[in-house]
Structure 1
Amino acid sequence: MSDLFKRWQKRREEVAVEDKQQQTAAELEQIEQQLAQQKAEELEAVEEQGELEPLPDPDEIEEGGSFADFLKEGVDPLQRQKALKALWSQPQYNVTDGLSEYSLDYAAQPLLDSDVAAELTQKVFRFANEAKEALEKLDEKQRELEQSEPQLLTDSDHDENTEAGESSTPERPTDPTI
């Protein structure tokens, strides 16, 4: 029984595909008829207006002349392209604005002298070098402080200092730059 359902389902899908194909073929035929009718109407309109005047050579049109005839319907695309090329090559449209940084050749840079390169490197890494020097100075001062720590007080010195109002721990400088 299931074999019968599979065949029935398969045939049903085939019929649906055939219907879609027939429908698209009918739509394409209708579109082709409309296009043919439009072309016939355009030809009739052209015939009613009279024959088209021959177009001049685009290269012979003077500066500021009209290229409007080349942009009308029914003009050969190659002829239109040639006319547009001639139009944009005329002097009034062929002006650069002087802002063409993109036209510079950055690949052909001159080599720097070693002195100039060293100076440039020094300028670029100035802040990094200053920070490194400041850290080195701080490390030196810290080493000096560690080496010059006061000797431990003896008990007798401790008693004398506490009676005089001094604290038992030696004071260290609090200035962070030291």
Structure 2
Amino acid sequence: MNDNAHRYTIAVCPGSFDPVTYGHLDIIQRASNVFDKVIVAVLNNVSKNPLFSVEERRELLLEVTKDMPNVEVDSFDDLLINYMNKKKAHVIVKGLRAVSDFEYELQMAALNRKMSDSIETFFMMSSTQYSYLSSSIVKQIARFDGPISDLVPDVVEKAMRAKYTKLQTGM
């Protein structure tokens, strides 16, 4: 065993988290059991039309990860590789729900590896009970006042209900 067999490992779990779901939390919790530090990094994705601002998403993530001592919440609007270098992180953690996720994530992992060969991507399969869950589906259900309490934490559900009420009333 060489001297580098174990080094302090910082992993980044990037995503839009709009909103954070139990599926996201499952991956974050499991990653926090594997890596020394996990940075949940909220991406300001300009190609999506978010329900919550980056700051609102950060606040919700801070609340729902507060009992995970080695989890930090941050945000970025640069290339992930640049963010990784800034944070001295070497691992990207991505959750996979289905084969369709894998195709896209494999492409992204290959591009990230091409830009920086010191970065590794770890794929974690979603737990079976969350394999169907996506933020888009949660937003669609919540928009029509459907049940989402078993899909997102209580604080997230309350924030979503308030946001949709505000949007519907135009206030």
For Structure 1 versus Structure 2, the TM-score category normalised by the shorter chain is under 0.3
User: Hey, which of these two has a bigger chunk of strand by percent?
Assistant: 2
TM-score (norm 1): 0.18
User: Hey, which of these two has a bigger chunk of helix by percent?
Assistant: 1
TM-score (norm 2): 0.18
Q: Which has the higher contact order (CA 8 A, sep 6+)?
A: 2
Larger Rg: 1
